[in-house]
Structure 1
Amino acid sequence: MYSAPVNHLPDPERQAAFYDGVTVKRGIAWLIDVVLIAIATAIVSAVTILGLFFIPMIYLMIGFLYRWVTIAGGSATWGMRVMAIELRNAHGERLGAGLAFMHVLAYSVAMSLMLVQIGSVILMFVDERGRGLGDMLLGTVMLNRRG
């Protein structure tokens, strides 16, 4: 017997407040995170002196770790927290370390392939839940923070 998967996420039609403005907030949160990662990269690069020769690699490593640790620790990066949004899994729960890692990995892959990232951003604007490609693959969704 076949049974459809249960989705515990808010309904975008009946509970639209969970999704209102999330795509724009997500973009602003991304900008905040980029600035924070750039500042951390500048500090690490300057302190290590040799790091000045490896700024792009340091930026990538700090960015990956920053996103993974903050999402695993509170289901949102600091930029997302400022914008009062958070990631949730298909059951409406906060992301654990494993799913946070997979989400950041999907983001990193999309960012390394411009057409994939453009497609993902377009999906965020046209999907009823504002999900990007990584969200669709992993069953995650960005919501306005509850409470």
Structure 2
Amino acid sequence: MLDNPTGYSDRLGTPGYGLPTRLPYVRASLGARFVAYLLDILFIFGFTALLTVAITLIGVITFGLGWTLFAVLPASGILYSAITVGGAGQATWGMRMMGLRVVTPETGTRVDVITAGVHALLFYVAISTFLLWFVDMLFGFMRSDRRLGHDLLLGLAVVRAP
């Protein structure tokens, strides 16, 4: 293992099996993150439309009782991000298209669903007002690793996917 220049583990049961033992920290550009966000808006719109149709059908079948699920629709963007970022792909569909993923910067491990949901919630809170969005983006422009304010609060990083 010491003579292995690739940094890949070659045994089951060792930390980082199949992954580099040291995270090749390659920062993601803010431009790629912005394009991924624009793509994700389209995916969230489609996800919300599917939820709307499903809830409508459930409401008809349950004689209106299922329509209480419409309260979930405002959180559809957070649900989308929590499921996709917290899943095996470590990225939303827009991030995957741009070659990005979300990791913990120290270890490069996957983010759990709750942390991914809180990350999305903080992002949507930040873009809801100009001042919070400006401060969030200022962190990204000032730091060499291009981590935004909500990334720093949760100890996450968006990196290029290998």
TM > 0.5 fold call: yes
Equivalent residues in 2 for 1:40-79, closer than 5 Å: 40-45=47-52, 48=56, 58=73, 60-73=74-87, 74-79=89-94
Partners of 1:76 and 1:85 within 8 A in 2: yes
Structure-2 change in CA distance of 1:9 and 1:37 (3 Å): same
SS in 1 for 2:86: helix
Which of residues 80, 100, 118 is equivalent to 2:95?
A: 80
Structure-2 change in CA distance of 1:121 and 1:9 (3 Å): farther
**Structure with the higher helix share, 1 or 2:** 1
Structure-2 change in CA distance of 1:31 and 1:56 (3 Å): farther
Higher relative contact order (CA 8 A, sep 6+): 1
**2:93 partner amino acid:** W
Residue in structure 2 matched with residue 26 of structure 1 by the alignment: 33
Residue in structure 1 matched with residue 160 of structure 2 by the alignment: 144
Q: Percentage identity across aligned positions?
A: 30
Which of residues 110, 121, 130 is equivalent to 1:114?
A: 130
Q: Kindly provide the CA deviation profile for residues 90-117 of structure 1, in whole angstroms up to 9, marking residues without a partner as x.
A: 3221212232122122213213333112
Asked which structure has the greater CA Rg, the reply is 2
Q: TM-score, normalised by structure 2?
A: 0.67
- Following TM superposition, where does structure 1 have runs of at least 4 consecutive aligned residues deviating by more than 3 angstroms? 8-11, 42-47
SS in 1 for 2:78: helix
Partners of 1:22 and 1:85 within 8 A in 2: no
Q: TM-score, normalised by structure 1?
A: 0.73
CA distance in 1, matches of 2:114, 2:44: 22
How large is the Cα RMSD of the aligned pairs?
Answer: 2.7
Asked if residue 36 in structure 1 is aligned to residue 46 in structure 2, the reply is: no
Aligned residues, how many?
128
Q: CA deviation at 1:23?
A: 1.0
CA distance in 2, matches of 1:9, 1:107: 25
